[in-house]
């Protein structure tokens, strides 16, 4: 079963709620992870670690780029590409 954008957004909301210890809902594609949600470099990595568990994703630390973590949209593109890559591999 393939993952949709909505699935990734839901997983992201749940990961952010855990990491930031407050309910995070209503993310849109344009929501900026650092500026709007006030993530910092520590909480961003923790969010990613949560998502690895919930999405069954394993990121390659050498392929992570700052641009991927700019907005909900760029992150979703990144997560979907990673998931597609894992299935192909």
Partner 1 sequence: MTAPRLLHSLLDEAAEATPGRTALETATDSVTYGALATASRNAAHLLRTAGVRRGDRVVISSPDAITVTVAVHAASRAGAMFSVLHEQVRERPLEHVLTDCEPAVLVTDDPGVSATATAHGVRVLGSREVREAPGPREGAGPSLPAPLAVDAVCLIYTSGTTSLPKAVVCTHQQMLFAVHAIQDRLAYRADDVVYSPLPLSFDYGLYQVFLTFLAGARLRAGSVAETGPPLLRSLETSGATVLASVPSVSDRLAWLVRRARNRPRLRLLTNTGAALADTTIATLREAMPTLSVQLMYGLTECKRATIMPPDGDLRRPGSSGTALPGTEVFTIGDDGARLGPGEIGQFVVRGPHVMAGYWRRPELTAERFHLREGLFPELRTGDYGRLDEDGYLYFSGRRDDLYKERGFRVSATEVEAAARRVEGVASAAVLPPGPENGGTAVLAVVGDLAPSEVLDRMRGLIEEYKIPRRCVPVPELPVNTNGKTDRRALTALIHDAAHS
Where do contacts with partner 1 occur on this chain (CB under 8 A)? 18-19, 21, 34, 39-46, 48-49, 59-66, 68-70
Of 3 and 64, the one with the shorter C-beta distance to partner 1 is 64
Q: Cβ of residue 62: shortest distance to partner 1, in angstroms?
A: 6
* Count of alpha carbons within 13 angstroms of residue 23, beta-carbon side: 2
Of 2 and 22, the one with the shorter C-beta distance to partner 1 is 22
Q: Cβ of residue 1: shortest distance to partner 1, in angstroms?
A: 26
DSSP 3-state assignment of 22? coil
Residue 12: how many other CB atoms lie within 10 Å: 24
CB 72 within 8 A of CB 27: yes
């Amino acid at each position: 079963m393939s993952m949709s954008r909505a699935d990734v957004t839901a997983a992201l909301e749940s990961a952010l709620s855990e990491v930031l210890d407050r309910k995070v809902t209503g993310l849109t594609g344009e929501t900026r992870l650092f500026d709007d949600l006030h993530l910092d470099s520590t909480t961003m990595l923790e969010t990613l670690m949560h998502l690895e568990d919930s999405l069954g994703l394993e990121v390659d630390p050498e392929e992570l780029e700052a641009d991927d973590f700019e907005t909900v949209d760029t992150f979703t593109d990144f997560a979907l590409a990673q998931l597609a890559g894992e299935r192909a591999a």
